[in-house]
Amino acid sequence: MKSFDIKCLLPHRRCLLEISGDCSAEIIDKSVRLGCYLRIIESGEVTVVEVTSDAEKDLRRLLSNMGYSCIRKRNRLFEYRKRYGLIVGLVVFMIIISFFSNLLWSIDVSGNKRLSDAEVKKILEICGVTEGIPIRKIDNDKIRIEAMNISKDIGWLSVNVKGMRADVVIAEAVRPPAREENNGYSHIIAACDGIISEMVVESGVAMVRPGDTVRKGEMLVSGIIEERDGDVALTKAKARIYAKTEHVIEVYQEYKAENKHVVGEKLRNLTINFLGKSIKFHGIYGLDASECDIIHKRGSVYLFEGFRLPVSYVAEYCLLSEESSVSLSNDAARDAAERTAYDRLFSSADVELLSKRLVADYGEDGVKITLYAVCEENISIELPFAAEP
C-alpha cells in the first residue's frame, strides 16, 4: 500500500539569493537546465532571485563556477514552511480555543442592591450556574424559577450569555413593611429641660401643653388612657414634643494637631480566581490588619482589548502611614474647637439652632471654647412599662 506523504500538500520552501552583477540571462538559462523554479525580483548591479530551497545548492554551485558570488537572504514568509510542529501547534491551539469558547468564563451581576454579588453567585451556584460550565447547559427560564424559589429577595432574574461571559440582571422583590416588633406599652418622657413649643401626639394622653416648662425625665405623654366608663386602656404612646432648650458645650483644643499621611503601600494578599477556583498568595508577613489601613483593588486579565480571560484578581494592600504633629495658630485652634462643639450639638438630627454665644479662653497650651446655644429640638424619649396582671 502506497504511503501518503503530507509534504505533497505543502508548498516548497523558498529563499532569496542576492547575486553580484547582472546575470539575469545566465541564471534563467541555468534554471531551465536544472528544471527548478526561479523568479527574478531585481536586476542590475545586484540581481535578487527567488528559488526553491531544493535547487538552491545546485544554482549556487553553478554561479560560483561562472564567477558570481551570492548571498542567501531569508524570506520570512516561506522559511518555516517545513516546520510541521508549527502547524501541529496551530491546530492544537484552535482546538483549545474551540473548547474553551464553549465554557462560561465569568459572571457579572447587575441590578442588585440588598443582595451582594457573592450572595447572588451563591444562589446561581445552587442553580448549577458557575464559572467553567458548558454554556449549552444554561437554561434561563429554569434558572429564574429556581433562583426565585431559593431567595425571596429576587423578584426577577435573567442570565444573558454574551460570548463566554454571562450578564446576570436582577430585579429585587419589594419587601413588605416591617412589622413593629415592640408591641408593649410605653410613656413619653422629656430628654432634657425645656419650654414646650409644639406637640404632635399620635397616641396616648398629653400631660403637658405648649408653653409649659418641663424637666428632664418628666412625663409628657401617658400610655394609660382612662375611658369614660371608668375602664383603663393601655397603649404605646407616640408623639413628637418640641421644646426650646439650652446647651452648654465646652471643648479644649491644644495648639497642635496630629496629621496622618500615607507614605506608601505594600501588597498584603493576592487572590487569583480562575473558573470559580481561587488561589491565594501572601505578600508580607507579620503585619496585622489593625496596624494599617486596608484597601482592595479588583481587576480582570485581558488577552487583548475586549477579550477577557476567565481570570480575575483581588489585591489587598496595606497603606503605610505616618503621624506628625502640626502646630496650630490661635485662630486655627479656635476654629477646630468650634467645629467640634457644633458637631456635638448637632449629633441629633432633629435640632434647630435659634441663637448662640461663644466664649474663647486662650491659655499657654491651648484654647477652651464654651458654646452657649438656644435650640428647638424634639425632646421625646420612649419609656416602656409593663401592664399589671
192 contacts 379 by C-beta, under 8 angstroms: yes
Place of cell 497642635: 256
For 253-293, the DSSP string reads: EESEEEEEEEEEEEEEEEEEEETTEEEEEE---S--GGGSE
Give 249's pLDDT tier (boundaries 50, 70, 90): very high
CA pair distance 124, 205, nearest whole angstrom: 54
Question: Of 302-311, 366-375, 379-388, where does mean pLDDT reach its minimum?
Answer: 302-311
Q: Single out the residue of 306, 275, 272 nearest to residue 103, CA to CA.
A: 275
Look at residue 151 in the predicted model and tell me its pLDDT. 85
Residues near 268 by Cβ (< 8 Å), separated by ≥ 6? 282, 283, 284, 287, 289, 294, 316, 317, 318
Beta carbons of 385 and 183 less than 8 angstroms apart: no
Q: Which residue has the cell 498584603?
A: 268
Cα(50)–Cα(36) distance, integer angstroms: 11
User: Ranked by mean pLDDT, which of 152-156, 296-300, 375-379 comes out on top?
Assistant: 375-379
Averaged pLDDT for residues 53-74: 76
Our measurement of the distance from residue 330's CA atom to the centroid of its chain's CA atoms, rounded to an integer in Å, reads 44
| Residue 1 pLDDT greater than 50, yes or no | no
Neighbouring-strand partners of residue 75: none
* Chain segment 116-175, per-residue pLDDT in tens: 888 888 888 888 888 878 888 888 888 888 888 888 888 888 888 887 788 888 888 876
Which residue intervals of the chain bear CATH 3.10.20.310? Answer: 106-172
Report which of residues 243 and 326 the model is more confident about: 243
Read off the C-alpha cell for 36: 527548478
CATH for 10-73, among 3.30.2320.50, 3.40.640.10, 3.30.70.600, 3.60.20.10? 3.30.70.600
Could you give the residue range(s) of every CATH 3.30.70.600 domain in the chain? 10-73
Q: For residue range 213-230, what is the model confidence (pLDDT) as tens digits?
A: 999 999 999 988 887 777
Place of cell 449629633: 347
Task: Output helix, strand, coil percentages for the chain, rounded to the nearest 5.
Answer: 25, 50, 30
Structural contact between residues 147 and 157, judged by C-beta atoms closer than 8 angstroms: yes
- Render pLDDT for 175-197 as a digit per residue (tens, 0 to 9): 665 554 445 789 999 999 999 99
- For the chain, what is the mean pLDDT? 79
The answer on pLDDT for 388 being more than 70 is no
Q: Mean pLDDT lowest for which of 7-11, 98-102, 125-129, 272-276? A: 7-11
Averaged pLDDT for residues 27-47: 75
Superfamily name with CATH number, domain 106-172: membrane protein fhac (3.10.20.310)
In the chain, the percentage of residues whose pLDDT exceeds 70 is 82
Give residue 78's pLDDT band: very low, low, confident or very high (50, 70, 90): very low
Report residue 285's pLDDT band, with 50, 70 and 90 as the boundaries. Answer: low
Q: Is the model's pLDDT at 238 over the cut of 50?
A: yes
The mean pLDDT value for 62-82 works out to: 65
Q: What pLDDT sits at residue 389?
A: 41
- Quickly list DSSP for 354-374: EEEEEEEEE-SSEEEEEEEEE
* Per-residue confidence (pLDDT) for residue 89, from 0 to 100: 78
pLDDT of residue 37: 74
Give the Cα separation of 83 and 73 in Å (integer): 19
Numbers of helices and strands, H then E, in the chain: 6, 22
Q: What is the arithmetic mean of pLDDT over 256-261?
A: 73
pLDDT tens-digit series, residues 304-362? 666 666 777 888 888 777 777 778 888 888 998 999 998 888 887 678 889 999 999 99
Which span out of 79-83, 197-201, 288-292, 296-300 was modeled with the highest average pLDDT? 197-201
Q: Do residues 35 and 28 lie in contact, with contact meaning Cβ atoms separated by under 8 Å?
A: no
* pLDDT above 90 as % of the chain: 17
Mean pLDDT of 249-272: 80
The model's confidence at residue 283, banded by pLDDT at 50, 70 and 90, is low
Q: pLDDT at position 373, please?
A: 92
Q: Flag whether pLDDT at 368 surpasses 90.
A: yes
Q: Which tops the pLDDT comparison, 339 or 256?
A: 339
Report the distance separating Cα 114 and Cα 105, nearest Å: 25
